[in-house]
Amino acid sequence: MENRLTPQQLTKLVGEVERLSQRQQDELDRGQVEDILRELNLSPDLLDEAMIQLQRKDALVVQQQRQRWLVGGAIASLVVIVAGVVVFVQQQNQALNRISTQQGCVARVQDSCSEAPISRQTSPELFYNVTLKDAPVGKTLSLTCDWVTPDGQVVKQNRYETRQIETPLWNTHCKFPLNSKAPVGSWEVRLRLGDRQLSNTPFDVQ
């Protein structure tokens, strides 16, 4: 210990001595405790067991506090995780809701919008070529095409998943095998994303 003290160190030293002195005054030795028990007509023989019980209760209080902190921390972590999932799902839904179609046409050739007439005899397979707008880059989409006859019946339903989308404008297509017995007249094809219709295009079959 240094022989010389600063005024600040001296003030702290005096305070610590006073604290230790007060602690000694507040604490009772075993003999004093036994004397108090006798004055209360209580057996000093139970002192050791009582001390053990007090220690156990103190330890239980500490354990319960620790458990409350652990439970509180777990709940807080769970709340953060749930909030993160909710935000992620909302962002995903918003991205899907932004998707629309720039154009859609029915043709006899994939990825083409030719004006050639559609005939049961010369058009064995039809393609619904659609350009998606604001498509989610890096994701895939599960799409559905409904091919509807002139009398309103869905005669073919395509369910498919796109390739991983690379650009916000993305070409996709579904196809329909048109046979010679298909009814002539005004048909319609609809493209859906889940329950939401993205586009519908009428076309004539001759």
Q: d(Cα 34, Cα 28) in Å, to the nearest integer?
A: 10
pLDDT of the residue at 132: 94
Sheet holding 154-161, edge to edge: 154-161, 142-148, 185-193, 196-205
Cα 145–147–150 angle (5° rounding)?
155
**Banded pLDDT at 33 (limits 50, 70, 90):** low
Q: d(Cα 173, Cα 204) in Å, to the nearest integer?
A: 18
- What's the rounded mean pLDDT across residues 87-103? 80
Q: d(Cα 121, Cα 91) in Å, to the nearest integer?
A: 48
Q: Where are the domains of the chain?
A: 31-95, 100-205
* DSSP 8-state assignment for residue 182: S
Cβ(163)–Cβ(143) below 8 Å: no
Position 59 pLDDT exceeds 60: yes
Ranges 23-27, 36-40, 161-165: which has the least confidence: 23-27
pLDDT of the residue at 156: 94
pTM for the whole structure: 0.57
pLDDT of the residue at 87: 78
Q: d(Cα 77, Cα 137) in Å, to the nearest integer?
A: 31
3-class state of residue 177 by DSSP: strand
Percentage of residues of the chain with pLDDT beyond 70 = 89
pLDDT tens per residue, range 160-188:
999 999 999 999 999 999 888 889 999 99
Helix-then-strand count for the chain, H and E: 3, 7
Strand partners, 64: none
Which structure tokens are listed for 68?
């409350």
Q: CATH homologous superfamily for 100-205?
A: Macroglobulin (MG2) domain (2.60.40.1930)
- What's the rounded mean pLDDT across residues 30-40? 71
Going by C-alpha positions, the residue among 33, 27, 32, 60 that lies closest to residue 46 is 33
Q: Look at the block and give the residue holding tokens 């998606």.
A: 132
